[in-house]
Structures are given as C-alpha cells and as structure tokens.
A and B are shown apart, each in its own frame.
Chain A
Amino acid sequence: SQQGEEDPQALSIQEGENATMNCSYKTSINNLQWYRQNSGRGLVHLILIRSNEREKHSGRLRVTLDTSKKSSSLLITASRAADTASYFCANAGGTSYGKLTFGQGTILTVHP
C-alpha cells in the first residue's frame, strides 16, 4: 500500500493540553502537508513542510519531519474545544506529479 499511517487513531484530551499526532509514509516525498477536517466537511490546509525542512511553526501548530525515518508529527499546543476534528497528513511523493497520498487520520476530541 502507498498509504501512510497515523498514530494514534483517536486522541481525547482536555482543553489547554497539548496534542501530538504522528504520521509515517512509505515513499520519498517532495513535501508533506497536514489538513484538518470537521465531521464530513472540507479539508482545511494547516501547514506544509518541505523535504529539506526539519521543523515548521504556524501559530499553535508545530510540525516536524524526519525523512530518514519517513515520519512527521503535528503538535497542537494549548488545545481548544474548536480544535476537535480529524487530522490528516498527506505526502506529495517524489515521483508523482503532486498527487497527495493521505494517512488514515487521527480523530482529536478536545473536551471543554
């Protein structure tokens, strides 16, 4: 399978806590993108990290990339109830023309 895996599949935390989601992939990549999806709705782009980058920040989001381990992590700090959603990583493979291969997603629930 070309699909990656995400870990954990589900995460339940309290507001104010940090949430960490991990993603693994199988092929070489040009970049890796993280998306959020509220139940049955559209995919909202969060952050893109390129294959030559190791860490990137955007607001309360921190993404790391380890190409030697073919893995990435998304950290959401000081979580809010509004962060409740599914989070997907998606990689743009090195040999493809930009198509994204998605991981299985992490369902995050933040309790107020």
Chain B
Amino acid sequence: AAGVIQSPRHLIKEKRETATLKCYPIPRHDTVYWYQQGPGQDPQFLISFYEKMQSDKGSIPDRFSAQQFSDYHSELNMSSLELGDSALYFCASSLDPGVETQYFGPGTRLLVL
C-alpha cells in the first residue's frame, strides 16, 4: 500500500538559510499534518490542512509557513533557520480529520549548522 512520502529525507542548512520540506499524502487522504520532533522529545504538532485550507495551528514559529496544493501535497517553508530548528519533521495524512488514523511519513531530518 502507498505510504506518505516526504522529501528530502535529510537536509543540512546553515543558520539564517531557508528550507522547504515536501509531503505527499496517501492517495485520497485530504488532511495533512506537520509535526516536529526534537532530539529525545515527543512529536509536537505544527500545523494541519484539510481540503487545502489551514485547519489547525500549533506551536509553529512565525518564520515557518505551509500550504497544501491542489494535488493535496503540502510544503513546509522554513526561513531564517536557527540551530534550535534542528529536528525530525514528520508529515502525516488521514482520510477523516479527528476520526481516522494518522499515517506518518518517514520524516525529514533537518540539521542546522
């Protein structure tokens, strides 16, 4: 079965640079979620989209923005990167927000130097 695809899998950036993370949900899933997991931490919700509209927002810095496109893929744009942004970034998708299982992608490991 198709899974959530994330790219790139690994990313190294310098401070103050920008990064774009991409997420391709499972086919027919209309909801995408973004989570950030710092070293040794549990995943923290950043933002979600349902039918291409932002549906919920968590602890996402103002330096980050995201959107969901007409083909339901989503991109997380991160600007003015800081050392503390180094983390695993997960995308998840589901068929029915709040009701059904969220399936997670393999994550993008971002290292900011």
Contact = CB atoms under 8 A, between A and B. Distances in A.
Interface of A: 3, 30-31, 33, 35, 40-45, 48, 88, 90, 92, 96-105
Contacts of A101: 45
Interface in B40-69: 42-45, 48, 50, 55-56, 58
Given A41-B106, A42-B105, A105-B42, A98 B90 contact: no
Contact of A100 (B45, B55, B105): B45
16 contacts: A31-B98, A35-B104, A40-B88, A42-B105, A43-B90, A48-B100, A48-B101, A97-B55, A97-B56, A98-B48, A98-B97, A99-B33, A99-B45, A99-B58, A100-B43, A102-B43
Most buried by B among A44, A92, A100, A103: A100
Contacts, number: 72
B28 to A, nearest CB: 16
B7 interface: no
Main secondary structure of the interface of B (DSSP, over half): strand
A92 B45 CA distance: 11
Nearest to B94: A98
Interface residues of B, number: 28
Interface of B: 31, 33, 35, 42-45, 48, 50, 55-56, 58, 88, 90, 92, 94, 97-107, 109
A105 B85 CA distance: 21
A30 B50 CA distance: 17
A105 B43 CA distance: 10
B12 to A, nearest CB: 16
A90 B107 CA distance: 17
Nearest to B46: A99
Contacts of A35: 104
B43 A33 contact: no
Given A92-B98, A105-B42, A98 B104 contact: no
Contacts of A88: 42-43
A104 B55 CA distance: 25
Contacts of A43: 43, 90, 92, 104
